[in-house]
Chains A and B, each alone.
Chain A
Amino acid sequence: QSLLTQPPSVSAAPGQKVTISCSGSTSRFANNYVSWYQLLPGAAPKLLIYENNKRPSGIPDRFSGSKSGTSATLDITGLQTGDEADYYCGVWHNNLTVLYAFGPGTKVTVL
């Protein structure tokens, strides 16, 4: 069972916006930065957001992240068919059992 919670799926039409939530129940989530990853079929995971709301070079500003307390969100605006993928949040959990925790993943479907 994941330490983090994400909705199994979200969907929207092209051009619309989707929001993916990620929540954690421990102080480690509240005190550490959240990252977001995109996993396209057949491709390596891609870092979309780090340190809660920063984008690596090359990631379009249609992807944005935020965090407050024990909850984080990834927004995707101007949804495109190429955005159809699984999205994972991740956070350093820093204990002996799980050093880094991924959320269970959210499938984004473009209608």
Chain B
Amino acid sequence: EAQLGESGGGLVQPGGSLRLSCAASGFNFNDFQMNWVRLAPGKGLEWVSYISGGSASIYYADSVKGRFTISRDNAKNALYLQMNNLRGEDTALYYCAREYMDGFDIWGQGTTVTVSS
């Protein structure tokens, strides 16, 4: 069974950094494009970042561009999101999601990031 599991969230002060990880299992990880999506309190889903299977193509939402970096290690079946210069508006539940057939078919349970002083 294909599964994703996020980790690395926590409480951080404004301007701080966090690195989120997403562990994949049950499928051939390097065959799939991966994404990070977040859900802020009281708001809707927001796409954050995309990375292709071989890491050749990477994209970011404008709201995180220049501050967040997506990467993957196919040998470890792992996806990462390095988040720097965090702001209050980055407070959210962060999900990793597998892309399939123009949709996101596998999601993790999410990891919570809280940016507050």
- Are B104 and A99 in contact (CB-based, < 8 A)? no
- Among candidates A32, A50, A51, A88, residue contacting B45 with C-beta atoms closer than 8 Å: A88
Known A-B contacts A45-B95, A99-B59, A100-B50; the reply to A50 vs B102 at CB < 8 A is: yes
Known A-B contacts A44-B95, A97-B62, A99-B59; the reply to A54 vs B47 at CB < 8 A is: no
- Are A37 and B95 in contact (CB-based, < 8 A)? no
Across-interface contacts of B44 in A (CB, < 8 A): 2, 86, 88, 102-105
- Among candidates A46, A49, A86, A100, residue contacting B47 with C-beta atoms closer than 8 Å: A100
Q: Count of A-B contacts with CB under 8 A?
A: 70
Across-interface contacts of A49 in B (CB, < 8 A): 103
- Are A33 and B102 in contact (CB-based, < 8 A)? yes
Decide if the interface of chain B is mainly helix, strand, loop or mixed: strand
Contact with B along A44-62 (1 / 0, CB 8 A): 1111011100101000000
Q: Complex formed: what's the CA distance from A48 to B61 in Å?
A: 24
Across-interface contacts of B108 in A (CB, < 8 A): 44
B43-86 residues at the A interface, CB under 8 angstroms: 44-47, 50, 59, 61-62
A85 contacts B by Cβ under 8 Å? no
- Among candidates A39, A50, A96, residue contacting B101 with C-beta atoms closer than 8 Å: A50
Considering only CB atoms and an 8 Å cut-off, how many residues of chain A contact the other chain? 29
Q: Complex formed: what's the CA distance from A99 to B45 in Å?
A: 14
B25 contacts A by Cβ under 8 Å? no
B87-115 residues at the A interface, CB under 8 angstroms: 95, 97, 100-105, 107-110
Across-interface contacts of A46 in B (CB, < 8 A): 107
- Are A44 and B109 in contact (CB-based, < 8 A)? yes
A75-111 residues at the B interface, CB under 8 angstroms: 86, 88, 90, 92, 96-105
B21 contacts A by Cβ under 8 Å? no
- Among candidates B45, B59, B61, residue contacting A45 with C-beta atoms closer than 8 Å: B45
A residues neighboring B (CB under 8 Å) = 2, 32-33, 35, 37, 39, 44-47, 49-51, 54, 56, 86, 88, 90, 92, 96-105
B residues neighboring A (CB under 8 Å) = 35, 37, 39, 44-47, 50, 59, 61-62, 95, 97, 100-105, 107-110
